[in-house]
């Protein structure tokens, strides 16, 4: 072992003193700023991570709020559509009922008018029949027909005249 043969105690202590001085200087002037810089960097990274986490949570909250608002809007739209359908059906039902009622009234009025016209026509017909009967009776009496055959022929002739007109 040749390394131990070249070993010098004075050189060893000198190098040890230089090493300790160097470590002391590094500790005083370099390590503290390096450790402070590393610490600040860690804090900056942690702050950025916290901010990112907070932003992620806020985005989730905003997304949840958006979803909730969207659901509420859909529910409100569905309720409005249902209400509109119900109103439409009610209006149609009322219109049908009103139309049916009006149609019933018109039919009743038409029936009443027809009945009145029918009664007027019957009264007119009765009057004409009465006038014809009186006319026939007058002609029969005026002629003072001697035979019954002549009277029947006259009545039948007049009846044919009346039915043709």
Q: Is the pTM of this model over 0.75?
A: no
What is the DSSP code string of 23-38? HHHIIIIIIHHHHHHH
d(CA 137, CA 143): 10
Contact in structure between 162 and 132 (CB atoms under 8 Å) = yes
Number of H-type helices and E-type strands within the chain? 4, 0
pLDDT 10s digits, 114-141: 999 999 988 888 888 878 887 877 776 6
Residue-range domain boundaries for the chain: 22-164
Residue 69 pLDDT more than 80? yes
d(CA 160, CA 152): 12
Instruction: Please give the span between the terminal C-alpha atoms of the chain, in angstroms, as a whole number.
Output: 165
d(CA 103, CA 92): 16
d(CA 63, CA 58): 8
Would you state the pLDDT for residue 106? 92
Residue 24 pLDDT more than 60? yes
């Amino acid at each position: 072992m040749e390394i131990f043969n070249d070993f010098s105690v004075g050189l060893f202590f000198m190098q040890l003193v230089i090493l300790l001085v160097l470590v002391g200087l590094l500790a005083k002037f370099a390590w503290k700023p390096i450790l402070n810089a590393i610490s600040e960097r860690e804090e900056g990274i942690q702050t950025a991570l916290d901010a990112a986490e907070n932003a992620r949570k806020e985005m989730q909250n905003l997304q949840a709020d958006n979803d909730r608002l969207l659901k509420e809007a859909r529910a409100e739209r569905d309720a409005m559509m249902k209400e509109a359908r119900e109103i439409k059906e009610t209006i149609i039902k009322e219109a049908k009922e009103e139309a049916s009622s009006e149609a019933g009234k018109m039919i009743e009025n038409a029936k009443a008018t027809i009945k009145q016209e029918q009664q007027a026509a019957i009264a007119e017909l009765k009057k004409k029949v009465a006038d014809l009967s009186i006319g026939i009776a007058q002609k029969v009496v005026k002629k003072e027909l001697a035979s019954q055959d002549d009277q029947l022929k006259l009545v039948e002739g007049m009846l044919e005249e009346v039915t043709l007109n």
